[in-house]
Structures are given as C-alpha cells and as structure tokens.
Amino acid sequence: MEKINAAITGVGGYVPEYIMDNEELSKLSDTNDEWITTRIGVKTRHVLKGEEQGTSVMAIKAVEELLFKTNTRPEEVDLLICATVTPDMIFPATANIVSHATGLVNAFSFDLMGACSGFLFALQTGATYIETGKCKKVIIVGADKMTSLLDYDDRTTSPIFGDGAGAVMLEPCSKEYGVQDSILRTSGAGEQYLNIKSSGSRCPVTKETIDKKWNRIYQDGQVVYKAAVSNMTSTTREIMERNNIEVGDLKYLIPHQANKRIIDAVASRLNIPEVKCMVNVTKYGNTTAGTLPLCLWDYEQKLRAGDKVIFTTFGGGFTWGSLYLIWAYNGREMKKRD
C-alpha cells in the first residue's frame, strides 16, 4: 500500500487591527525603540483590544479565511487542533469554541499546549492522523493573545510579545509532498527559566499571587536565548543530515519568531543565508503558537510546489524541534480573500 503523506493545502491568518509601536510601548515600560530594535528586532506588535476578547476571536478569523481559501465546507473537516498557551478558559478547550463558531459540526477538536513549539507539535500530531488514514481534513491553528500575560512593569518581557493566529489545512497526498520528517523534543528541566507560576493547580490565582505578579510571564532571557540557539540549530542540522538536504536544496528555514538575533544566530551556524529565512518578528513580535503559521501566511505567495522547507522552534517547557516538509502548491494560484 502506498504511504499517505500529509500536505499543507492552504493557510489562513489573522492579526488584530490595533498596532502598538515601540514608541507607545516605551510609555508603558521603561524601554526605548533603539534597545528593542537592536536586541530583539521588533518594531511593532498587534494587540487584541476590547472586553471579553480571547484567543478564539483571532483563531476563528484565521480558520474562516482558511475555509474560504481552500473551498472547504465546514462539515468536511474531521479534526481541529488549537495550539495555544492562552486559551479563552482552562476549559472548554478553545479548539471546541473555534470549531463551534466555524461550523465544524463533524470534527472533534482539542487544545495542545507546547508553548512556542505548540504549532509544530500540533502539525506533526495532525499529520499523523492523516498518515494513518483516520482523517482526511485536519485544521491546525496556532493562536495566542500573549498581551494578556504581560506585565508592562517588566521591561525584559513586555517588548517581545504580540497577539495573532495562523491556521493550516492538512490533507492526504502522495509521498513527493507534505510532512517528510520531524524531530520533536521536550525537557521539563526548563520550567524554572520560563513560566507563569500562578496559572494552574499548583499555585492557583489569589489576590496575593496577583500582587506578586506570579500570574505574568517570568523569563530568564539569557538562559532561554542560549538554549534556543543551540537546540534549534542542533535539531535542524540533524534533520538536514538524515534527509540529505544541503543548504542549496532548501527554499526556506521557517524559524520561531522570538528574537531576530536568535534567528540570525541559528541561520549563521547552519550557513543558511538570510534570504532563505522567513522573518516577520519585526512587525508581529513573538505570537508564541502563532509565529510559524503567520510566517506561512506572509510568505505563501513565494512558495511553489516542491519547495523544501524546514520549520524550527524553541519555547517554554522547554520544548523544541524541527520539521521537514515539501510544499504542495503554488502560493500565487491560491484564492485570495478581499
């Protein structure tokens, strides 16, 4: 029996209308445009404003665009996985809310928490449902409202993050296209360096934990920076070696968008030129599970059937990995939404 592969057959995305530039951020945090630009490479980030506007608002818009672009009737979808660390609520899953709002009446759905690696873990999980023949149409959405977790008094984290969502459709294809290989890793030893201490059952939110700001992101930036560069480099190198991919064969490296310096350091260690790296951290900041699909959303027009791409990511957990995929369609021919 011929092996079934899982191809990405369309991309949708959404970023909120409100754009906060470094000048505005500098009024909320003790920072400045020059520091943020040189140390992180972010100029603007999108912020979801308004009462009771959760991550699902953005994920729904990304999925609606995806259904439109891929000419998919909602009832055809078998599974939706939502990668997020900022669900609307602990339960029900944001995936359930998104599926209901977009009319996916025949799909089961669940959230997957892998922090900045959430989209990649969800992509491999969804691909496996396709490869086994269990599902024919799977939507993977990566979405986060990171500004809901920020403490603007903490200048070491406030300039980094933004809000956004991206979604892809996975469908069966022949072995020339789709997901070819992945190396996915976790280490809970990273817990102490990147966490939100009061956000779950161990230390429930109380007035005291709020006063201590334990319900906001904590990060030891330098430890995370070094671990991100070394681990994204090593899994990408390994996946290139075991699939016989030379730099010249690669169309794009699609790195997690946490810091332009991290992207540059990984690319330089792998001798991958800048022009082969997808970069949009400058305008969106780090949208956590949203970064990788938002890269595809921005670069879709440049992608052609047969292009070899490698995703790589690193985030809280620690979680990290690389995934090798052969692109399955000509982006320019994809239907556009007005």
Residue 35 within binding range of ligand UT7, rule CB under 6 A:
yes
Q: Tell me how far, at minimum, the Cβ of 329 lies from ligand UT7, in Å.
A: 29
β-strands 18-21, 44-47 pairing: antiparallel
Sequence-distant (6+) residues with CB within 8 A of 175 are: 2, 3, 5
Is 82 among the catalytic positions? no
Cα dihedral 238, 243, 245, 251 in deg (nearest 10): -100
β-strands 138-145, 79-83 pairing: parallel
CB-nearer residue toward ligand UT7: 59 or 160: 160
Cβ(33)–Cβ(273) under 8 Å? no
Is 286 among the catalytic positions? yes
Candidate list 5, 22, 259, 286, residue with the active-site label: 286
CB-nearer residue toward ligand UT7: 254 or 258: 258
Residue 259 within binding range of ligand UT7, rule CB under 6 A:
yes
Residue 172 within binding range of ligand UT7, rule CB under 6 A:
no
Residue 243 within binding range of ligand UT7, rule CB under 6 A:
no
User: What number of chain residues touch ligand UT7 (CB under 6 A)?
Assistant: 18
Cβ(286)–Cβ(146) under 8 Å? yes
Cβ(231)–Cβ(120) under 8 Å? no
Burial 207-216 (b: 16+ CB within 10 A, else e): eeeeeeebbb
Residue 31 within binding range of ligand UT7, rule CB under 6 A:
yes
- Encoded tokens for 88: 């609307």
CB-nearer residue toward ligand UT7: 181 or 220: 220
Contact range with ligand UT7 by CB under 6 A, out of 44-52, 132-140, 152-160, 325-333: 152-160
* CA pair distance 89, 91, nearest whole angstrom: 5
DSSP state of 325: E
Nearest Cα to Cα of residue 102 among 145, 69, 68: 68
Q: Tell me how far, at minimum, the Cβ of 215 lies from ligand UT7, in Å.
A: 18
CB-nearer residue toward ligand UT7: 35 or 68: 35
- Encoded tokens for 259: 């810091």
Residue 185 within binding range of ligand UT7, rule CB under 6 A:
no
Using alpha carbons only, how large is the chain's radius of gyration in Å? 19
Residue number with the smallest Cβ distance to ligand UT7: 221
Query: Please, which of residues 274-293 interact with ligand UT7 by CB under 6 A?
Result: 286
Question: Which of 183, 221, 276, 334 is in the footprint of ligand UT7 by CB under 6 A?
Answer: 221
Cβ(107)–Cβ(122) under 8 Å? no
Residue 152 within binding range of ligand UT7, rule CB under 6 A:
no
Active site residues: 116, 256, 286
- Which residues of this chain interact with ligand UT7, rule CB under 6 A? 31, 35, 39-40, 116, 155-156, 159, 221-222, 224-225, 228, 258-259, 262, 286, 315
